[in-house]
Structure 1
Amino acid sequence: MSVARITTLSANSKTSFDDAIKEGISRANKTLRNVSGAWVKEQKVEISGGNVVAWHVVLEVTFILED
């Protein structure tokens, strides 16, 4: 049996949603132990001059608590 905790974080990228998600997960793994999954809760883009200039995601990251 295990108990997990969920934490919310946001990440952004100048490239894509995929890159923003990877950056968020990478950063979560630097601080949290036992990261087991993530849910993309929100996605949005920043637009300037009619072009997408940044991609933003909000992630719900799940990690297993240690005994």
Structure 2
Amino acid sequence: MTASVARVTTISVRSDTSFDDAVKAGVERASQTLRHVSGAWVKEQKVELTDGKVTSYHVVLEVTFVLDD
């Protein structure tokens, strides 16, 4: 039986558009640096406000990637 080993790393992403945009940007950026990205978990979401209006969206992602043999 062959086992695979994965690692999880935490990244923080900010978007001026939406939470969805922040998640997509984070996963795309992580995939440029890390090989074998297999998933991501949204650990935290928050917004930044100016004068009572949302100005940016922040997410903290736990990104999972499988280690090379």
Same fold (TM over 0.5): yes
Secondary structure of the structure 1 residue equivalent to 2:32: helix
Aligned residue pairs, count: 67
Structure 2 counterparts to residues 1-67 of structure 1, below 5 A: 1-67=3-69
Q: Distance in 1 between matches of 2:14 and 2:27?
A: 12
Q: Distance in 1 between matches of 2:37 and 2:26?
A: 12
Q: Distance in 2 between matches of 1:10 and 1:24?
A: 8
Q: Which runs of 4+ in 1 moved over 2 A?
A: none
RMSD: 0.4
Identity percentage of aligned residues: 67
Structure showing greater radius of gyration is: 2
**Unaligned 5+ runs, structure 1:** none
Instruction: Say which SS state the counterpart of residue 44 (structure 1) adopts.
Output: strand
TM-score, normalised to structure 2, is 0.95
The TM-score, its normalising length taken from structure 1, stands at 0.98
Measure, in 2, the Cα distance between the counterparts of 1:24 and 1:11: 6
